[in-house]
Amino acid sequence: MKIIFLDIDGVLNTLMIDIKPFPSNRGQISRDGFYYKLNMPNDMEVSNRQAVMWLNKLCVETNAKIVITSTWRMGVDGLENTKKALYNSGLIDNIEIIDVTPILQNPVDMNIRGHEIQEWLDNHKNINEYVILDDDADMLENQLSHLVQINTYYGFGFLDYEKAIKILEG
């Protein structure tokens, strides 16, 4: 099985800008004739649909499944709400979001996401390849070769897709 460990903010949810208001004005600000929007989990969608399309292509071409690492997974119905947001934003219906990483509480360790991913991997031994899509680099040393660090301002794009597919193809 191939896994994509997926962060949301900075990867699929990026700051969007336009000269006209967005259809949903929640979370939107206007300054100097421009409109800015960054979605929140309760918006039930992510802002960067282009990034979702690149994720679709990656999943379809590699038959990878998704595990959510984002803080969007937290709270009541975190996984279900994250799934709704991604499918509402264009994630293809047959792409599987299978799980979330565990939430670890260790304020001393700066690599918390890396430990959460490692714990998930330790409990799922049937993983052939994996890639981590994240705008941060708080990973363990052995995970860095699996990380595609996304530019927070642009989100998951073509060059990131190319790196990710090489990692998943081994």
80-100 pLDDT, tens per residue? 999 999 999 999 999 999 999
- Tokens encoding 127: 């993983």
**Res 22: pLDDT:** 80
**Res 111: pLDDT:** 63
- In the numeric block, the tokens 């981590």 are attached to 132
**Res 110: pLDDT:** 61
147-165 pLDDT, tens per residue? 999 999 999 999 999 999 9
Count how many domains the chain has: 1
Instruction: Tell me if 30 is assigned to some domain.
Output: no
Instruction: Tell me if 103 is assigned to some domain.
Output: yes
What residue numbers bound the domain in which 152 lies? 2-14+43-168
**Res 42: pLDDT:** 83
Instruction: Tell me if 28 is assigned to some domain.
Output: no
The CA distance from 33 to 82, in Å, is 32
**Res 70: pLDDT:** 95
- In the numeric block, the tokens 């680099």 are attached to 137
Intervals of the chain under pLDDT 50? none
Sheet of 34-37: strands edge to edge? 16-18, 34-37, 28-31
Instruction: Tell me if 32 is assigned to some domain.
Output: no
Instruction: Tell me if 67 is assigned to some domain.
Output: yes
**Res 79: pLDDT:** 93
Instruction: Tell me if 20 is assigned to some domain.
Output: no
The CA distance from 125 to 30, in Å, is 49
132-137-140-146 Cα dihedral, nearest 10 degrees: 30
The amino acid present at 156, given as its one-letter code, is F
**Res 25: pLDDT:** 62
Q: What is the CATH number of the domain that holds 116?
A: 3.40.50
The amino acid present at 43, given as its one-letter code, is D
**Res 129: pLDDT:** 97
CB atoms within 10 A of CB 1: 12
- Tokens encoding 78: 């975190």
Instruction: Tell me if 96 is assigned to some domain.
Output: yes
